[in-house]
Amino acid sequence: MYPKTMISTGMFALYLVLAFLSCGTMLLIPHVNPYVGVGVGAGICIVLTVLTAVGSAQEWRHAFVPIAAGNGIGSGIALSSLFVFLGHAPAVTDYLIAFALLLAAFLLYCLLTYLPFVRRYPVPCMIVYAVLACAGYIVLVCLAYSCAFLITAIFLLPFIGFFVSIARRAEFPARQLEHVAGASCFSVAVVVILILLIISQGEASDGMSDILPTDLYGGGKRKYNPYDFDL
């Protein structure tokens, strides 16, 4: 594997690990308002995005790894809001499966970069691969009722963010870490926005009750579904 792709892959793995650990930790806190997680995640996103911009201007080369790690934590805290809202918690195996699927897709493309055709036409190949990967994960969510696939689908946009960092030009490792830090800022932002949209619309509870069988608090209040009679 090329050193540049190793940096992006390693940081993506770190981002996912911290995201899933922070999500699980937040779900250990009972009776948390579902908007707390997205609020904290949004705050982390804003602060670290500013630090990324300042760090890029001032060449704070040692700041980019902590920034990417912090954005991973922010993404996990935001993700916890979804499961607090639903009243369910993912099992450890759900996190492991989601991690394996996302990282495997990332590693597969890194291996494909050894093919001359992929090196010659990087942008078209990345676009086709990203579309196929997203389509495959969406099909999994539609066909298989699994919390692991739901988590994977939510992290598709962060996957693309880190994926794009591979294509950006970098002269040395610190520059690539800067690109990865920017990708992590994009990632936490889209996770926060996506979770906030789901919670604010109130569509998730009834539509996903079969996907998430593990109860977080031993039962929960039925959420309002705007597309059904409010019985």
State pLDDT tens for residues 207-227: 444 444 444 434 444 444 433
Q: Taking Cα atoms as reference points, which of 30, 42, 25 lies closest to residue 78?
A: 42
- Please name the residues in contact with 60: beta carbons below 8 A apart, sequence gap of 6 or more: 54
Per-residue pLDDT tens over the stretch 145-203 = 788 888 988 898 899 888 888 877 777 888 888 889 899 999 999 999 999 998 887 64
With residues binned 3-state (H G I as helix, E B as strand, rest as coil), the percentages for the chain, rounded to 5, are 75, 0, 25
Based on DSSP, count helices (H) and strands (E) in the chain, helices before strands.
10, 0
- Tell me how far apart the alpha carbons of residues 72 and 70 are, in angstroms, rounded to a whole number: 5
- Write down the pLDDT at residue 190: 92
3-class SS at 215? Answer: strand
- What pLDDT, on a 0 to 100 scale, did the predictor assign at position 50? 92
Calculate what percentage of the chain has a pLDDT beyond 90: 32
pLDDT reported for residue 202: 66
Bin 31: left if φ > 0, else alpha if -120 < ψ < 50, else beta.
Answer: left
**Residue spans per domain, the chain:** 3-207
Residue 157 in contact with residue 185, Cβ under 8 Å? no
Calculate the alpha carbon distances from 146 to 77, 158, 214 in Å: 21, 20, 11
What are the DSSP calls for 82-100, one per residue?
A: HHHHHTB---HHHHHHHHH
| Cβ atoms within 10 Å, residue 122 | 12
